[in-house]
Structure 1
Amino acid sequence: MAHLNNSLFILSLSLIFLQFFHTAVARGGQRDPGFVDIPYAASRRHLSEENHFQKLNALARGYMTNSDLEKAIKAFHGRCRHISRIYSIGRSVLGVPLWVMEISNNPGKEEAKPAFKFVGNVHGDEPVGRELMLLLANWLCDNYNKDPMATLIVDNVHLHILPSMNPDGFSLRRRGNANHVDLNRDFPDQFFSINNDIDERQPETKAIMSWIKDIRFTASASLHGGALVANYPWDGTKDKSKSYYACPDDEVFIYMAKLYSGSHYNMSLSKEFDAGITNGAYWYPIYGGMQDWNYIYGGCFELTLEISDNKWPPANELHMIWEYNKRSMLDLVASLVKSGVHGRIFSSDCGYPLPASIAIKGINYTIKSSETLADYHRLLAPGHQYEVVATMPGYKTRTTTIVVKEELMTLDFILEPEITIADRFLPNRCVSRRSLNIFAVISKSHMQVSLTLILVLAFLFFLMKRKAIVNHFKVRKLIRQRRVSAV
């Protein structure tokens, strides 16, 4: 009995010790292997990994397997087809499809609306996001045209939800993917030349990067576990120091992080993080992270959300965690159409949309309007005055001063062309410019088809011409023969 009590006492101390240190490594801090003898450490590590896997396997009861998740995604689409579509952005190392649910009143159509994405399960042993993504999708479906927030989001945003970026890590019960790579360290970095080799990147990372090229996301959030905080860029520093390192849109990210934290049940009450938010580099720096890459290369404002102190809480706590985070998730998506400045850019002489650039004076960050609809969506912190600058090669720059409040602001730009000497001699400048634009579109999306068609027509023309020439000589030969016989 005494032996049993001693064992329970030691187990309790171990759990307290692990609980004390779990937040320090929540975002992937590396531990020093120390001076332990390597063969002994290897055998102990093997036993530890087996025990860890068994514990997580037990905790996974009640969570969806990868197969369950795919079925749940398809079932959601089956009953919510009127406001959704599902598609895969690629496959994991082990070939599991990376399924995405798009929720909108016009899913799959290009519209002058902002797009938001949620990404869950970046780390395989942080599965809470997988579950919350399905709960969010089904809540929006159930409450569309019933709840004002659900209706606002579905009608005005294209919401894309990737429940699991790392299905292999989930099934293997480990942080990295099947190749033991931490996917939140696998993106190109702004300070150091890591991950620059395209061939070395993981398929899951490549899928995210291609996704960003295909869809112009305004904002994004990835869901993690192991702490309770809204984390924002920059995630690293030039000198690798642990210090606050602000990105150009620091005020906007603070606003977004506080919006999530303030709507959460208890995130803003954190004793570890002021207001429940943190600058990534100030917490501890990482390199090759997804949120910095999104902002720099994708024009997308991304937060890293730590939504549960426990990385793998028991399944019976998932509904409570959903209730704690539901309002925050909805408010973050709705902020795309409830704040910032949005609009389209047109040509004054011809009236067609222009793929121009939008900048804010004093902020070193530029976004572009879309190629076809010329819509732009610029997130800005409310309560400030901004000078919005629209620029387009061949057109005069336009600047407008606005005051952003916590409400939708629409600002369209009409740019005047810079008249050149060549333009003055054109009979109809708008027609010529539109023709050039049409040719540009064709050259981008249909060049191969167009070239094939031109070659086919040229070949047919050649055959017809050849036949005509042959017939001509035959006729001439026949005429000569007749003349000879007539003589």
Structure 2
Amino acid sequence: MTNNLFFSLFLLLASTLSSPSLARVPFHTNAPSEDFKNISYATRARHLLEDNESQAQKIVDFARGYMTNDDLETAVKEFGQRCSNISRIYSIGKSVNGVPLWVIEISDKPGEEEAEPAFKYIGNVHGDEPVGRELLLFLANWLCDNHLKDPLATLIVENVHLHILPSMNPDGFSLRRRRNANNIDLNRNFPDQFFPVNDDEDSRQPETRAIMNWLRDIRFTASATLHGGALVANYPWDGTEDKKTNYYGSPDDDTFRFMASIYSHSHYNMSSSKEFPGGITNGAAWYPIYGGMQDWNYIHAGCFELTLEVSDDKWPNAAELPVIWRYNKMSLLNLVASLVKTGVHGRIYSSGDGRPLPGFITVSGINYTVRAGTVFADYHRILAPGDKYRVVATMPGYKSKNTTIWLDDGPMTLDFVLDPEVSVKGSVLQNVYDCNCNSKCRQEFVQFLWGAHLELYFGFILILGLLCILFQRRVKAKSSRAKRTVVV
């Protein structure tokens, strides 16, 4: 009788603890619970780099409550139907085992190219870090439910093209391990800037190639990947030339620190980290990696990417996911919104016919180039606020132009109008007077230009010069106002 009573009480207790409707313990990011300490990782030791098969076996039970790959595909497609007015669903490829890599695009004009920045979130890069795939579905659904109610949601939907890839490594998720089906760490599978690894495109994993082709198709301004096992916002560089663990900043180090701080300080408690000041870290100062996706994005795709560690536990109990979402919600939203709430944005035009020029934007003192779009010639340059910058626009065949701006906490619109390069012996007269006339006809035309009308031409040019000066002064005066639109 006693044994039966004990067994009944044990079953009751087990069913209560496993109920998805009850939170096990309030989620505490700085102190992983005793129940899950076997799958949490000391941040300095970075056991994240290891793939312990015995631990993978232990976390099988913790997958309860998480979406399977089939569940995820169903959720993505159902989202596309429910929110079809502001979204489209597409695949960028397949995993080793043939699982589609589904993407949700959220915008007021999904699938259309606009003069707007694009942002991407990627989750589940490592198969045993599934929190990101769940958070990104929370994010997509929140934007769908609130884009006509919440100002921040409206701002994102109407001014940004947000692309969400919930799972980059669905095979690793199914296998409950870090690496993909070919046992390759996908965050070590990209070409590296310091060492000749992964240079053979045919030898890269299909998931890696899918990401690289994706960035060839879409010009992303910024992005972030969601990981687990720590609580910190990580920024480039991720490696060092000598393979030593030292701070190694990129040309845009100030800007990356600014972006990482947006995420950290919007989080419930990331910025209060005792290990990482401000809740952010340079990747190489934490632990160097090579072949990482973060550095490749910045170098080869013009995309400013962060690596976000969003949960101390790599695979927490599914009952904690709503709490983790609440802790990360404003961080995820504010990082995307920062693309339009800060930085320098504009377009490049030709002074000759007003057509858009797919030129280049550089900032003096920062060895990095941002390319304008091919259709609208729009550019979006993320910069840390509170500083003075000299912005330069260039285009082959045109004279470069530059201007100095002071960037405060708001965005600035800075358009450039470039003049074609023309040599002294160029074809200006031939373009103006392009006919099949003989040499005598051309000579008469030149004499007409430099005859009695010369004084009128000089006067006209002088008036135009004065008008340009007045116009530039007026523009500079307006640049300090709220909209702060400047034409150079």
Same fold (TM over 0.5): yes
Asked if the contact 2:346/2:378 (under 8 Å) is kept, the reply is yes
Q: Alignment partner of 1:150: what SS?
A: helix
| 1:75 maps onto 2:78 in alignment | yes
Q: Alignment partner of 2:96: what SS?
A: coil
Cα displacement string for residues 88-124 of structure 1 (whole angstroms, at most 9, x for unaligned residues): 0000000000000000000000100000000000000
Q: Which residue of 1 aligns with 2:49?
A: 29
Q: Which residue of 1 aligns with 2:165?
A: 162
Which of 315, 319, 326 is 2:318 aligned to?
A: 315
In the TM superposition, residue 413 of structure 1 has moved relative to its aligned partner by 0.3
Q: Which residue of 2 aligns with 1:233?
A: 236
Query: One-letter code of the match for 1:29?
Result: L
Which of 265, 268, 277 is 2:268 aligned to?
A: 265
Which of 87, 91, 98 is 1:88 aligned to?
A: 91
| 1:423 maps onto 2:440 in alignment | no
Which of 150, 153, 165 is 1:150 aligned to?
A: 153
**Larger RCO (CA within 8 A; separation ≥ 6):** 2
Which of 189, 194, 217 is 1:191 aligned to?
A: 194
Q: Which residue of 2 aligns with 1:223?
A: 226
Which of 169, 174, 181 is 1:171 aligned to?
A: 174
Q: Which residue of 1 aligns with 2:339?
A: 336
Which of 203, 213, 216 is 1:213 aligned to?
A: 216
Q: Which residue of 2 aligns with 1:470?
A: none
Query: One-letter code of the match for 1:113?
Result: E
Q: Distance in 2 between matches of 1:67 and 1:260?
A: 31
1:27-66 matches, cutoff 5 A: 28-30=48-50, 49=53, 51-66=54-69
| 1:250 maps onto 2:273 in alignment | no
Note closer, same or farther for the CA distance 1:152–1:21 as it changes in structure 2 (3 Å cut).
Answer: closer
Which of 374, 399, 403 is 2:402 aligned to?
A: 399
Q: Which residue of 1 aligns with 2:280?
A: 277
Q: Alignment partner of 1:319: what SS?
A: helix
Asked if the contact 1:169/1:178 (under 8 Å) is kept, the reply is yes
Q: Distance in 2 between matches of 1:30 and 1:128?
A: 18
Asked if the contact 2:131/2:315 (under 8 Å) is kept, the reply is yes
Q: Distance in 1 between matches of 2:300 and 2:130?
A: 27
Q: Which residue of 1 aligns with 2:292?
A: 289
Q: Alignment partner of 1:223: what SS?
A: strand
Q: Distance in 1 between matches of 2:173 and 2:433?
A: 59
Q: Alignment partner of 1:321: what SS?
A: helix
Q: Distance in 1 between matches of 2:174 and 2:49?
A: 22
Asked if the contact 1:26/1:225 (under 8 Å) is kept, the reply is no
Q: Alignment partner of 1:217: what SS?
A: coil
Asked if the contact 1:26/1:227 (under 8 Å) is kept, the reply is no
Asked if the contact 1:225/1:311 (under 8 Å) is kept, the reply is yes
Q: Distance in 2 between matches of 1:405 and 1:26?
A: 38
Q: Distance in 1 between matches of 2:254 and 2:105?
A: 29
Q: Distance in 1 between matches of 2:386 and 2:34?
A: 49
In the TM superposition, residue 234 of structure 1 has moved relative to its aligned partner by 0.3
Q: Alignment partner of 2:355: what SS?
A: coil
Once superposed, what is the RMSD of the aligned Cα atoms? Answer: 2.0
In the TM superposition, residue 69 of structure 1 has moved relative to its aligned partner by 0.2
Query: One-letter code of the match for 1:279?
Result: N
Asked if the contact 2:36/2:313 (under 8 Å) is kept, the reply is no
Cα displacement string for residues 316-344 of structure 1 (whole angstroms, at most 9, x for unaligned residues): 00000000000000000000000000000
In the TM superposition, residue 406 of structure 1 has moved relative to its aligned partner by 1.6
Q: Distance in 1 between matches of 2:77 and 2:37?
A: 42
- Quick one: percent identity of the two aligned structures? 66
Note closer, same or farther for the CA distance 1:211–1:415 as it changes in structure 2 (3 Å cut).
Answer: same
Note closer, same or farther for the CA distance 1:325–1:356 as it changes in structure 2 (3 Å cut).
Answer: same
Q: Alignment partner of 1:292: what SS?
A: helix
Q: Which residue of 2 aligns with 1:447?
A: none
Q: Distance in 1 between matches of 2:295 and 2:263?
A: 19
Q: Which has the higher helix share?
A: 1
In the TM superposition, residue 26 of structure 1 has moved relative to its aligned partner by 4.6
Q: Which residue of 2 aligns with 1:464?
A: none
Which stretches in structure 1 are left out of the alignment for 5+ residues? 1-12, 32-47, 431-487
Query: One-letter code of the match for 2:428?
Result: R
Which of 413, 416, 429 is 2:416 aligned to?
A: 413
In the TM superposition, residue 57 of structure 1 has moved relative to its aligned partner by 1.6
Q: Distance in 2 between matches of 1:267 and 1:21?
A: 16
Note closer, same or farther for the CA distance 1:172–1:393 as it changes in structure 2 (3 Å cut).
Answer: same
Q: Distance in 1 between matches of 2:341 and 2:79?
A: 27
Q: Which residue of 2 aligns with 1:8?
A: none
Query: One-letter code of the match for 1:256?
Result: M
In the TM superposition, residue 145 of structure 1 has moved relative to its aligned partner by 1.4
Q: Which residue of 1 aligns with 2:350?
A: 347
In the TM superposition, residue 429 of structure 1 has moved relative to its aligned partner by 10
Asked if the contact 1:340/1:408 (under 8 Å) is kept, the reply is yes
Q: Alignment partner of 1:412: what SS?
A: strand
Q: Which residue of 1 aligns with 2:481?
A: none
In the TM superposition, residue 426 of structure 1 has moved relative to its aligned partner by 4.6
In the TM superposition, residue 147 of structure 1 has moved relative to its aligned partner by 0.3
Q: Larger radius of gyration, structure 1 or 2? A: 1
Which of 104, 112, 118 is 2:107 aligned to?
A: 104
Note closer, same or farther for the CA distance 1:424–1:408 as it changes in structure 2 (3 Å cut).
Answer: same
Asked if the contact 1:423/1:429 (under 8 Å) is kept, the reply is no
Q: Distance in 1 between matches of 2:228 and 2:116?
A: 31
Note closer, same or farther for the CA distance 1:272–1:394 as it changes in structure 2 (3 Å cut).
Answer: same
Q: Which residue of 2 aligns with 1:43?
A: none
| 1:122 maps onto 2:125 in alignment | yes
